[in-house]
Amino acid sequence: MSERYRKVAYYPGCALEGTGHAYDRSTRAVGKKLGLDLVEVRNWNCCGAMEVKNIDPKLQTYLSSRVMSIAAQEMGMDTVMAPCNGCYHNLKKAEYDLANDAASRDVVDRLSQKAGHATYRAGSLTTIHALDWIKEALGEDGIRLRTTRPLAGLKVANYYGCMYTRPRHIFPEKDKGEGSESTAAPHFMDDILAAAGAEIVDYPLKTACCGGAHTLSDSDTSTKLVLNLLETAEECGADVIATECPTCHSGLEMHQVRAEKRFGRKTRVAMMYFTQLLGVALGIGPRRLGIHENISDALEVLRAKGLR
């Protein structure tokens, strides 16, 4: 096991305390099982999400910078791990803006002084996603070694959503060739779950939009987008769609139900966070992974495959 990322600051973000609670639960359970230390960022705040960013992007930069300031300056950490694509994206974007935009630095400095905490300095902290954390800390061989219940026979479509890799310029560590993540064709989740024994299906919509931003204002568009994702996964032969974003995950689950009510189209593919699937492979019980909290019937899929 790599020493890098053995101990990281953990920024769950708002969604993992709400709709994505099972993601938080399974992430912590996997970390504990693997001996990886997650130190939750003290007194963290919202990253600015979509709501703040659309009104005042520099305020979003400040909100994300405060999280990074606490992790780096107050807690002395060098890495912060954010499992939520929205948080991950916003922290990376703040890092980029603070390194490249003097106006953003001025606003963040002013607001940090007003709030009474140290101003975050770009380059003090590395932001990673939960996929980077597992992939780097364990590697595929490490996962194979620790897998006690291989996900044999389970066909998985990996769904990354649109914020994990976009825009490219805020992810300078990606697209660096072999071993690095790709923004055009991400594969870390594929690598991790294949190492855990799952059969990965070729899924052409792995980075397509889930309609998360439309879900309240134009629910039918969201439902159509999700239904297309679900039916495509089924056409690819998938039993499960693995997710790594709480907004995508809850959107897929909610609109799966709505698609049946609104359009009379039922799909059976289940949704599971990749940490839940990895946890099953590591021998962690379904309840500790929060699988009972999923809306789609993931437990039944596991039962059918002899994984429960």
In the complex, which residues of this chain contact another protein (CB under 8 A)?
Answer: 14-15, 17-21, 24-25, 27-29, 32, 46, 49-51, 54, 84, 86, 162, 166-167, 184-185, 204-209, 211-218, 221-222, 224-225, 228-229, 231-232, 235-236, 246-247, 250-251, 288, 290, 292-293, 295
Q: Tell me how far, at minimum, the Cβ of 291 lies from another protein, in Å.
A: 11
Which is closer to another protein, CB of 117 or CB of 224? 224
Q: Tell me how far, at minimum, the Cβ of 171 lies from another protein, in Å.
A: 13
Q: Tell me how far, at minimum, the Cβ of 21 lies from another protein, in Å.
A: 5
Which is closer to another protein, CB of 138 or CB of 201? 201
Q: Tell me how far, at minimum, the Cβ of 208 lies from another protein, in Å.
A: 5
Q: Tell me how far, at minimum, the Cβ of 255 lies from another protein, in Å.
A: 12
Q: Tell me how far, at minimum, the Cβ of 166 lies from another protein, in Å.
A: 5
Which is closer to another protein, CB of 79 or CB of 223? 223
Give strand pairing partners of 107.
none
Which is closer to another protein, CB of 40 or CB of 109? 40
Q: Tell me how far, at minimum, the Cβ of 141 lies from another protein, in Å.
A: 27
Which is closer to another protein, CB of 119 or CB of 160? 160
Q: How far apart are CA 242 and CA 230, in angstroms?
A: 12
Which is closer to another protein, CB of 53 or CB of 105? 53
